[in-house]
Structure 1
């Protein structure tokens, strides 16, 4: 991959990562409840899920997903159900005494798993990558090094953006003192998860974006 092509891909990666989606919502939700330091577990999980998506496209399974209604629907509805679960969990989250102590998050491995599932259960992202990544691949050159560059670029950009979302939300912890404020914010993020689930439910194979 030459420098000109890489710069173009870098720009595309920034736009894709900044676009509001389930990953951004999960990052802000985690930052709100757990702070930035523990929020890195979620960010790491999101990046593992992103690498899995890239690997699926690289080995050709993305084409199968794009062509198979059954496979696409199965993963899509799993993703919808998981986002609904996250929304319910956020809605029912108990407020914490932030003025006295920082909130205690779930185990790091659990947060990592949730981040992974948020990205891995989104077939729309895989089909989108299947449509976008080939535009930045030089078929006359070796493919593995190019996919490694693509993966490293996307993960670096997405990790930085998700860190920004998490950090932004974590700052809200410093001003949210009352339980009523926390409940309102929890339910706002729950609504965003429900909205993301509803949006994913409308996605069709013929409309990968």
Structure 2
């Protein structure tokens, strides 16, 4: 992979990662509920899901999702149900009085947050099909493909970690501004609505021939 090709891919990664989606919503939700240090575990889980997606595309399995209506639908509807589950959890999230010295809400278990992030990315067939269409455009077929996939994977993960840190940190800062249960409840229900909206958008995704 030439430096020019990598730079083009690098810019594409920023555009893709900055685009609001279920991963960004999950990162902000975790930052809101647990603060930055604990909430960032969700972003790490998102990257594990991204690794799975890249591996699926590199192994050629992504072509199955692009051509098999059944495989695509099963993964899509699992993703829809999981996002609705997260919406329900966020809607029911407890509130508490926050002051300048108060720590963030009850700690989430790191492995639970990692698993949540992994499921969000791994259950998004649109992302797999999207990468199946995009990644090959940056490949030099005359060069070893494995090393190129590794470079692209590391680039995507690095960029996404930075972007999700921004989303998580932004939400964690918002937590400091919340002073009443009513404000927190409103924000929780806003995020619940965003999760539900992401689920609704996923139901509209169609497999392209």
- TM-score, with length taken from structure 2: 0.97
Which sits farther off after the overlay, 105-114 or 193-202?
105-114
Distance, in Å, in 1 between the alignment partners of 2:18 and 2:143 is 30
Q: CA RMSD in A?
A: 0.9
Cα drift, residue 105 of structure 1? 2.4
For residues 13-63 of structure 1, give each alpha carbon's deviation from its aligned partner in whole angstroms, at most 9, with x where no partner exists.
000000010000000111111111001210110000001000000000000
Distance, in Å, in 2 between the alignment partners of 1:39 and 1:195 is 22
**Structure 1 position 63 matched with structure 2 position 58:** no
Tell whether the 8 Å contact from 2:98 to 2:179 is kept in structure 1 after alignment.
Answer: yes
Runs of 5+ unmatched residues, structure 2: none
2:142 counterpart residue number: 140
2:121 counterpart residue number: 119
Question: SS of the residue aligned with 1:20?
Answer: coil
Q: Which of 156, 164, 175 in structure 2 is aligned with 1:162? A: 164
Tell whether the 8 Å contact from 1:97 to 1:103 is kept in structure 2 after alignment.
Answer: no
Distance, in Å, in 1 between the alignment partners of 2:58 and 2:97 is 47
Cα drift, residue 98 of structure 1? 2.4
Written as runs of structure 1 = structure 2, the 5 A alignment for 1:164-183 is: 164-183=166-185
1:12 counterpart residue number: 12
Cα drift, residue 97 of structure 1? 3.0
For residues 102-133 of structure 1, give each alpha carbon's deviation from its aligned partner in whole angstroms, at most 9, with x where no partner exists.
21222110000000001000000000000000
1:92 counterpart residue number: 92
**Structure 1 position 47 matched with structure 2 position 47:** yes
Tell whether the 8 Å contact from 2:30 to 2:40 is kept in structure 1 after alignment.
Answer: no
Question: SS of the residue aligned with 1:173?
Answer: helix
Distance, in Å, in 2 between the alignment partners of 1:85 and 1:102 is 23
Runs of 5+ unmatched residues, structure 1: none
- TM-score, with length taken from structure 1: 0.97
Distance, in Å, in 1 between the alignment partners of 2:103 and 2:119 is 30
Matched residue pairs, number? 207
Distance, in Å, in 2 between the alignment partners of 1:153 and 1:41 is 19
Tell whether the 8 Å contact from 2:33 to 2:104 is kept in structure 1 after alignment.
Answer: no
